Amino acid sequence: MPVKDPHSYADLSQGLIKHIDFEISVDFETRILAIRAEYILVEPVSGAFYLDTRDLDIERVYSGDTELEWTLSESNENLGQRLQLQNLEKIQGFTIDLRTSPAAEALQWMTPQQTLGGEHPFLYSQCQAISARSIFPCQDTPAVRFTYAASVTVSKPLTAMMAAEAVGSQQDENANTFQFKMPQPIPSYLFALVVGNLAFQEMGPRTGVYAEPEQLEAAAYEFAENEEKLVEAEKLFGPYKWDRYDLLILPPSFPYGGMENPRLTFLTPMSIRGNRLHTDIVSHELAHAWTGNLVTNATWEHAWLNEGWTTYAEKRISEVLYGQDHIQITNYIARVSMFDVMEHVITDPKFTCLRTHLEGVSPDEGFTLVSYTKGYTFLALVEQAVGREAFDVFIQKYINAFAFQSLTTEEFIDFMRAELPSVFDLVNVQEWLYEPGFPESAPEIQSRQVDEVEAVSDNYRQDTLPTKEIVKDWDWLQKLIFLRTLPATISIEDCRYFEDLFALDEDTYPPLLREFYKVCIRSGYEQIYPQVKALFSATGRLAVIMPVFRTMLATEWTQALARPLFEEMREGYHPHTVAVFERFLKDAGM
Ligand SMILES: [Zn+2]
């Protein structure tokens, strides 16, 4: 019995998509993709066949010379529209001609001015969680996997790339056409396309980076450790199954740190600082090649299986490269951030469970730091309970057993019961997976660096300002923790003092600025506002801008500024980011 996915109209008992051949024509003038998609099913289908769509202009559905009957349902806010093919008679393949909407949820169309080079337009897709349906009709659930091939035509001199193997290209007078194939079956959310002025640089035998030419060299320097990370990840998980591991550096408006598109991780440019200090995010996206892309959550109600496992793997890779201190301090920050989300963002305690129930709710609402940090902590606790050696054996068995499949939390528990039964005597699995909040049995964080910051923070609360001498050796994580542990409001003089102490008028690393601006806003330091605005135009990364925006909505003097700020920025943001802003504004009654 296939699981029911609350975020898909697909009925898997009707049949399954096996392969899709795409012909995609990209038009920057109209901001439309014209697509011919030829579907091959696992077995012939009779009767009805449901597909997920959102805002698609379906032109024709046919099989060979035969037109097929189809209807589109009313649009549902969370799900989009159901495309129903009907009266099928033993059909194993069909073709759909369609056009995407200029407002397609998955696609961000950018003007040349929004790129680094400033000369060519740029397009990228972001399909997780359920936006693939705004590009092509699909069984848009992570439980269905298909292979694909694609031919993508773009105007000269642009380049198209996909999260797939590039197998060839042709040029004619006006256009470039690129061919791709994806021989490993993927769930729809891992479909990914990018078009722009892109250059490539190799970093290792299996690793390289695509970026706008202006940023290529800096990116190749920053992520030079990728090949080493790949080797470490293979020690943990077994062989890498996706052939190449390349990065694509996106424009700053990308809503996330990274997106684990197979073979080609999409990455924020924020990590490129010339110091290789902010590349944990790559360890994370790389680890998804096993946990997420290879072994996949059956629905977004089990997202912790993707994100908790991947965070665990990220930490194991980082432990080898950067040591235990780094793990402890980043754990501390992750926990504090999760508590903040549990307290201030999640409106219903049921979304603090690892296994969620999301019927009637957008997957984004259930998809929070909880699945990452609580999921990771659970797995770290299991490791601690059974010992690393036994857990490492379990990890490889797990990956092998579910490779190229999807599973639910319940299937995971069954597998753990069979392979690692002692866990159930040592860890309260039920509480960790099914109950809200953060269990007290979580391993304690021990960090000399955190203790040092907390001592300085305590002194400040007793009216002793830290001196330059005291903080001179602090790394950015310690500065971030200090700013986070400040009282909710401080004096404007102290805002200025900390701005100077940490040289925050010169430091441009957005996560650090985020923490500082939150304090400044709450404290009424109005002179900071131009810099706050500058942060919103410098990055579209949700994890950076939303906490600042939430603080603005909750603070009296900035409330009225929130809507105008968003309106000024929205043109430069991804449609998904725009939707998140709208949701927060709506919830705040604005
Ligand atoms: Zn992830």
SS in 3 state form for 458-514? HHHHCCCCCCHHHHCCCCHHHHHHHHHCCCCCCCHHHHHHHHHHCCCCCCCCHHHHH
Dihedral of the alpha carbons of 256, 182, 69, 51, in degrees to the nearest 10:
-40
Predicted pLDDT of residue 347: 84
Predicted pLDDT of residue 216: 98
Q: Report which residue type is found at 561.
A: L
**Interval between CA 307 and ligand 1 midpoint (Å):** 5
Predicted pLDDT of residue 366: 78
Residue 420 to residue 372: CA distance in whole angstroms:
22
β-bridge mates for residue 151, sequence order: 23, 179
Predicted pLDDT of residue 484: 94
Predicted pLDDT of residue 2: 66
- Please list the active-site residues: 285, 372
DSSP of 551-588, one letter per residue? HHHHSHHHHHHHHHHHHHHGGGS-HHHHHHHHHHHHHT
**Interval between CA 420 and ligand 1 midpoint (Å):** 25
- Residue pair 520/512 in contact (Cβ under 8 Å)? The answer is no
**Interval between CA 539 and ligand 1 midpoint (Å):** 19
**Interval between CA 363 and ligand 1 midpoint (Å):** 15
Predicted pLDDT of residue 1: 57
Predicted pLDDT of residue 506: 83
**Interval between CA 285 and ligand 1 midpoint (Å):** 6
Predicted pLDDT of residue 492: 97
Neighbours of ion ligand 1 (CB under 5 A): 307, 310
CB count within 10 Å of CB 97 equals 15
**Interval between CA 268 and ligand 1 midpoint (Å):** 13
Nearest 5°: the CA angle 381, 384, 387 is 140
- Could you give phi then psi for residue 434, rounded to 5 degrees? -115, -10
Query: How many CA atoms lie less than 13 Å away from 38 in the CB half-sphere?
Result: 8
The tens-digit pLDDT sequence of the chain (590 residues) is: 567 899 999 999 999 999 999 999 999 999 999 999 999 999 999 999 999 999 999 999 999 999 999 999 999 999 999 999 999 999 999 999 999 999 999 999 999 988 999 999 999 999 999 999 999 999 999 999 999 999 999 999 999 999 999 999 999 999 999 999 999 999 999 999 999 999 999 999 999 999 999 999 999 999 999 999 999 999 999 999 999 999 999 999 899 999 999 999 999 999 999 999 999 999 999 999 999 999 999 999 999 999 999 999 999 999 999 999 999 999 999 999 999 999 988 889 999 999 999 999 989 887 899 999 999 999 999 999 999 999 999 999 999 999 999 999 999 999 999 999 999 999 999 999 999 999 999 999 999 999 999 999 999 999 999 999 999 999 999 999 999 999 999 999 999 999 999 999 887 799 999 999 999 999 999 999 999 999 999 999 999 999 999 999 999 999 999 999 999 999 999 888 999 999 999 999 98
Predicted pLDDT of residue 344: 87
CA 434 vs CA 7, 108, 291, 328, 437: distances in Å = 20, 37, 21, 26, 10
Predicted pLDDT of residue 365: 80
Pairing outcome for strands 175-187 and 107-110 = unpaired
Query: How many CA atoms lie less than 13 Å away from 511 in the CB half-sphere?
Result: 19
Residue with token string 């589109």: 72
**Interval between CA 574 and ligand 1 midpoint (Å):** 19
**Interval between CA 400 and ligand 1 midpoint (Å):** 20
- Residue pair 281/299 in contact (Cβ under 8 Å)? The answer is no
**Interval between CA 337 and ligand 1 midpoint (Å):** 16
Predicted pLDDT of residue 496: 97
Residue 281 to residue 475: CA distance in whole angstroms:
18
Instruction: Count Cβ atoms within 10 A of the Cβ of residue 506 and give its class: 0-12 exposed, 13-18 middle, 19 or more buried.
Output: exposed
H/E/C letters for each residue in 162-187? Answer: ECCEEEEEEECCCEEEEEEEEEEEEE
